[in-house]
Amino acid sequence: MTTITPSEPAGTQETSSYVDWPAILAGGIVAAAISFVMLAFGSAIGLTMTDPFGREGVSLFWIAIAMAIWVIWVQVSALMIGGYLTGRMRRRNYDATEDESDIRDGFHGLLVWATAVVFAAILAFGGIGTVANSLGAAVGGAAQGAGAAAGQAISDESGPFQSSIDRLLRTATTTEGDAAATRDEVGRILIDGVTGEGVSEDDRAYLAQLVAARTDLDQAEAEARVDETIAQAQSVQDDVVAAAEQARTIGILGAFLTAASLAIGAAGAWFSAVTGGNHRDTHTVTPFFARRGSPLM
């Protein structure tokens, strides 16, 4: 880089506001745009590393670590770029000392940070923040309780408990009777059992009687099938609870991560704005952005 000693412009000094909003908006828009693009890029990479059913792919722990590093790096870098741009473009008021000018540049960096945060909030509430909305929905579902989640699964004809009920009432011959009402009753017994204190002995005996009547199994075989089905249903319920707890944990970590990255970004925006203002005052030339053959190089 090449520096030139700054000189105070001739003529009447500026009497307008010290806040240069065009430079602030420019820096804020650039910071928000860079942050959005890079976070979308990181989300795409993260989706390629995971399996929706958890059978393969990188473990959630390492994905969370990578996500934390990526989010902090993107947020801080984007805000530092926006702060530097604003500091470099801000109109210098020559009615203050160099220290005072640095302070004004720093406050412009903080305004860039605030503007970028507002832009990001508008985009999120406008529907572009898909990831944040998805985490919020997951956390909201967890707050409703695992029992409600299991009940929704049972009420859905394609829910995870339906295959368990099918196995429970499986028979080689057609049995007359209201099969739909029987399935609903069995479903309610399973819901009350796996979301409460377990299936009672009376309910187990009743289910064994239903199975024996529907499948022509003897009492011992029917009871064994009932116990196996209850264990399978409990396993599904445990998975539902674990998924809800995981969503809640991710939501909490995401909130703390966002706050931490924004706090660090505020400091970065201040520092970069001051640096940009110093480069503006000293006419520092960056060769990459300068025209070839420029006399300042």
49 pLDDT more than 50 = yes
pLDDT number for residue 82: 92
pLDDT digits (tens, 9 = 90+) for 201-255: 887 888 888 888 878 788 888 888 888 888 888 888 888 888 788 778 777 877 7
Residue span of the structural domain in which 181 resides: 146-239
**Cα 213 from chain centre:** 51
Tokens of 155: 């009420």
pLDDT number for residue 262: 85
Q: Are residues 139 and 276 in the same domain?
A: yes
Closest CA to 108 of 234, 20, 225: 20
Residue 28 lies in a domain: yes
pLDDT number for residue 81: 92
pLDDT digits (tens, 9 = 90+) for 93-132: 877 788 888 999 999 999 999 988 888 777 666 544 454 4
pTM score, two decimals?
A: 0.56
Tokens of 158: 């394609």
Q: Are residues 282 and 224 in the same domain?
A: no
pLDDT band with cut points at 50, 70 and 90 for residue 259: confident
90 pLDDT more than 60 = yes
Q: Can you tell me the distance from the alpha carbon of 255 to that of 9, in angstroms, rounded to the nearest whole number?
A: 47
Q: Are residues 139 and 261 in the same domain?
A: yes
Percentage of residues in the chain with pLDDT exceeding 90? 11
The total domain count for the chain is 2
Lowest average pLDDT, out of 3-7, 43-47, 119-123, goes to 3-7
Q: Can you tell me the distance from the alpha carbon of 208 to that of 224, in angstroms, rounded to the nearest whole number?
A: 8
Q: 3-class SS at 49?
A: coil
Residue 283 lies in a domain: yes
Residue type, position 42, single letter: G
Q: Are residues 50 and 79 in the same domain?
A: yes
pLDDT number for residue 186: 81
Over range 153-161, report the average pLDDT. Answer: 51
Q: Can you tell me the distance from the alpha carbon of 241 to that of 234, in angstroms, rounded to the nearest whole number?
A: 10
Lowest average pLDDT, out of 133-137, 189-193, 291-295, goes to 133-137
Tokens of 75: 């947020």
Q: Are residues 139 and 277 in the same domain?
A: yes
Q: Are residues 218 and 77 in the same domain?
A: no
Residue 263 lies in a domain: yes
Q: Are residues 132 and 273 in the same domain?
A: yes
Q: Are residues 50 and 184 in the same domain?
A: no
* Long-range contacts of the stretch 125-129 (C-beta < 8 A, 24+): 128/36
Element (H, E) at 94: none
Q: Are residues 52 and 182 in the same domain?
A: no
Lowest average pLDDT, out of 134-143, 206-215, 277-286, goes to 134-143
Question: 50 φ, ψ to 5°?
Answer: -120, 160
Residue 4 lies in a domain: no
Residue 31 lies in a domain: yes
From the number of C-beta atoms within 10 Å of its C-beta (0-12, 13-18, 19+), residue 162 rates as middle
Residue type, position 75, single letter: Q
Q: Can you tell me the distance from the alpha carbon of 185 to that of 199, in angstroms, rounded to the nearest whole number?
A: 13
Q: Can you tell me the distance from the alpha carbon of 182 to that of 15, in angstroms, rounded to the nearest whole number?
A: 84
